[in-house]
């Protein structure tokens, strides 16, 4: 004796409404996002560059002479790495 299982089919209208709603939400997000960035670029104003002045007197400060220079790093001595354990 064969036992058959029948799956209950949902209302296809509900599926179509959900698909249309998801597409509408994605479309609205794309449209309003495009409008936002388009208006953002239109409202951007160009800023005139300012004159940059360097105060060279700060380099002659005595406190800079008291700073220590980092010691140089010498290269490694001996063999680098380890032996191949698979030989």
In a domain, 83, yes or no: no
Token look-up 């994605």 returns 26
Q: Give the pLDDT confidence of 2-60 residue by residue, as tens digits.
A: 777 777 777 788 889 999 999 999 999 999 999 888 877 666 677 788 898 988 888 88
Q: What is the pLDDT of residue 43?
A: 62
CA 1 vs. chain centroid, Å, equals 61
Q: Which domain holds residue 28?
A: 10-40
In a domain, 82, yes or no: no
Q: Which of 23, 2, 19, 1 is nearest to 10 (CA)?
A: 19
Rg (CA), the chain: 36
Q: What is the pLDDT of residue 2?
A: 72
Per the rule left: phi > 0, alpha: psi between -120 and 50, beta: everything else, 55 is beta
In a domain, 46, yes or no: no
Q: What is the pLDDT of residue 44?
A: 61
The number of folded domains in the chain is 1
């Amino acid at each position: 004796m064969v036992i058959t299982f029948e799956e209950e089919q949902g209302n296809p209208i509900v599926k179509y409404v959900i698909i249309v709603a998801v597409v509408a939400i994605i479309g609205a997000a794309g449209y309003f996002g495009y409008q936002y960035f388009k208006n953002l670029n239109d409202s951007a104003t160009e800023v005139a560059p300012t004159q940059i002045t360097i105060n060279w007197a700060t380099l002659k400060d005595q406190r800079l002479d008291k700073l220590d220079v980092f010691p140089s790093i010498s290269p490694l001595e001996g063999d680098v790495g380890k032996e191949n354990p698979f030989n």
